[in-house]
């Protein structure tokens, strides 16, 4: 079951591409935009995360921390982050615990019959840990509504 608006966001503890353990609960004084993406180095994932990179001031000015999460290893994510000059943490959900908790794991990924790849999804979590925006994209090639995320973020203090 997908996490819905109004629910408490499940906490997670994952390693980032700099080998630091990062938990959702580390950001109690911030709003957090959690972006699940299927696989590093794919065209849609690159476009999505570069859009966030290019507009990071919108999130920073709204006291929001952006976290990108995929099932890729932290080493793959480190290379991806460096090549794309991404300016926010990428977290490895290699064991698929966070994607499972948020209900965004493909049983079978549409391409290449891979099992256990996360769906593209966006969750905006407020300072109290409550989900204020939730979107799970229908297809891996779909992007989340950046406008919808911004509208939800504008309503938070």
Cα-atom radius of gyration of the chain, to the nearest Å? 14
Establish whether 137 is a catalytic residue: no
Rounded CA-CA distance 5/14 in Å is: 23
- CA 122 to chain centroid, in Å, comes to 6
Tell me the H-state helices in 70-135: 74-84, 97-102
Helix (H) or strand (E) holding 40: none
Q: Collect all residues with Cβ–Cβ distance below 8 Å to 23 and sequence separation of at least 6.
A: 11, 12, 13, 14
Catalytic residue among 3, 39, 45, 117: 45
Nearest partner of 149 among 85, 62, 19, 53, judged by Cα: 62
Q: Which residues carry out catalysis?
A: 45
């Amino acid at each position: 079951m997908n996490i819905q608006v109004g629910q408490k966001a499940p906490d997670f503890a994952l390693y980032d591409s700099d080998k630091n353990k990062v938990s959702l609960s580390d950001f109690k004084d911030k709003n957090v935009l959690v972006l699940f993406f299927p696989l590093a180095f794919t065209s849609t994932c690159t476009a999505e995360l570069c859009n966030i990179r290019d507009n990071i001031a919108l999130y920073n000015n709204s006291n929001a921390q952006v976290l990108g999460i995929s099932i890729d290893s932290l080493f793959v994510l480190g290379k991806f982050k460096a090549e794309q000059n991404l300016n926010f943490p990428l977290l490895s959900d290699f064991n698929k615990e966070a994607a499972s908790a948020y209900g965004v794991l493909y049983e079978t990924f549409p391409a290449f019959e891979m099992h256990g790849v996360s769906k593209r999804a966006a969750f905006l979590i407020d300072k109290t840990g409550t989900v204020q925006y939730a979107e799970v994209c229908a297809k891996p090639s779909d992007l989340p509504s950046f406008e919808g995320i911004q509208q939800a973020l504008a309503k938070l203090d």
